[in-house]
Structure 1
Amino acid sequence: MIALFHRPLLFIIVAFMVSVGAVFAQSTQFVSVEPIVRDGRLYIDANADIEVTGELRNAAEKGVPLYFTADLEIVSSRWWWFDKVLVDEQRSWRLSYNVLTQQWRVSVGDLTLPEDTFDDALSFVKHIRGWAVGSTDLFDPDEEYEGRIRLRLDTSRLPRPVRVDAFNSSAWSVMTPWKDFRFSISPPVQKP
């Protein structure tokens, strides 16, 4: 009798675990991170897969600017002390919609680009290209370095009336988990 009761219970638990795993598999995450050395500098190219809720999209279409921030850390492991932090950088994007001109804008620092749709503007944030994070002088050749990166909606930079809603609603908590990556820099090739 007891064994008959446990089978349906076990089936329900397994079904729940599979459905929870499927939900987490579809969550926001970084798909790829590629460190690139060019002209004596280290650049990061990365692709994130983030989902924006309808509530967030509606707020943006009504003119609320959205700020996304990428956080990057690169460390050198040390067995005898704490890891040495070589790079601790942030890059922010501002997505805004001008209701009068019906045009999307993506701003990174002093650069502002027009985009046709919200998805085009968000694509600019999802695909990080050519992010200069430091000089190659910081890195020893053939030593392995550890890095991690994440992308998040920066709710602290929202307008005050919207910020209250953002703190009370899970629809405004867009964030990728930290994506770990490892890399090493090859020594420069000597020309004869």
Structure 2
Amino acid sequence: MTLRACLSLAISRGFLAFLLATSLFGAWNGRAAQAAQTADPRVERIDPVLRDGRLELDADVSFVLNDQLRDAAQRGVPLYFTADLVIKRSRWWWFDRTVVNTSLTWRIVYNALTRQWRAGTGALSLPVTSLDQAMEQVRRIRNWQVGAADQFESGVKYSGQLRVRLDTSMLTRPLQVNALNSRSWSPTTPWTAFTFAVARPAR
């Protein structure tokens, strides 16, 4: 084999290796970006429903805890998650009118002595088997009563926004300071918009 042929073969093999490396890097980078996007908290579904004379909200939220938060929770640090909800009615002659501005907070805590997880809202706290089961309360919002039905006129379009966040304002002061300097302690979903109208009652 001549020197020119050997050189040409070496260049061809080097080029093929470069293409393979580029392809593998591109595929890995795409999977990494997809995984990062999947891990970002987000609101996936919002469903306002009238039940028993009240407007209730059902929602599905994708909220994966990072390793730092999981470790803190397993060490007994209480974690608080808050859902913020705003519902407005547009008015062409003036600013939009806020009909609902409310929030719902969950508390998740692990007792190292009893080795028991508890999760709940307000004064209601129930035992759960694991941190993931506790997080299901945050990820699957059901029957959240947000207002009386008579606050909403039938046939009128209302616009709302919902987000869910780790509520750092309820952490201890040292952890609040840490949260200000660490992205791991500030997971939140973007504000997610939705619209709805209350159906006119059947005659």
Query: 1:136-167, CA deviations, whole angstroms, 9 ceiling, x for partnerless residues?
Result: 11111111110110000011110122222221
Give 5+ residue unaligned stretches, structure 2: 1-21
Paired residue secondary structure (1:111) = coil
Cα drift, residue 39 of structure 1 = 1.1
Corresponding residue of 1:118: 131
The share of aligned pairs that are identical, in percent, is 44
Distance in structure 2 (CA, Å) of the matches to 1:180 and 1:171: 25
Q: Return closer, same or farther for 1:101/1:25 CA change in 2, 3 Å cut-off.
A: closer
Q: Distance in 2 between the 1:20 and 1:148 partners? A: 30
Q: How many residues align?
A: 179
Asked if residue 67 in structure 1 is aligned to residue 86 in structure 2, the reply is no
TM-score of the pair, normalised by structure 1: 0.86
Q: Deviations over 1:51-101 (max 9, x none)?
A: 211010100111110010000000001122111100001100000000001
Q: Provide the C-alpha distance between the structure 1 equivalents of 2:33 and 2:46, rounded to a whole number of angstroms.
A: 24
Whether the 8 Å contact between 2:39 and 2:63 is mirrored in structure 1 is no
In the superposition, the TM-score normalised over structure 2's length comes to: 0.82
Judging by fraction of residues, say which structure has more helix: 2
User: Do the aligned residues in 1 keep the contact of 2:118 with 2:134 (CA within 8 Å)?
Assistant: yes
Residue number among 164, 186, 190 corresponding to 1:151 in the alignment: 164
Between the aligned partners of 1:91 and 1:45, the Cα distance in structure 2 is 13
Counterpart residue identity of residue 180, structure 1 = A
| Equivalent AA in structure 1 for residue 45 of structure 2 | S
- Listed as ranges, the matches of 1:72-83 within 5 Å are 72-83=85-96
Give the whole-Å Cα distance in 2 for the aligned partners of 1:117 and 1:54.
15
Partner of 1:5: none
Whole-angstrom distance in 2 between the partners of 1:81 and 1:157: 36
Deviation track 1:97-151 (CA, whole Å, cap 9, x = no partner) reads: 0000111111201211110100000111111110000011111111111011000
Equivalent pair of 2:85/2:102 in contact (CA under 8 Å) = yes
Q: Where do 4+ consecutive residues of structure 1 move more than 4 Å?
A: 17-21
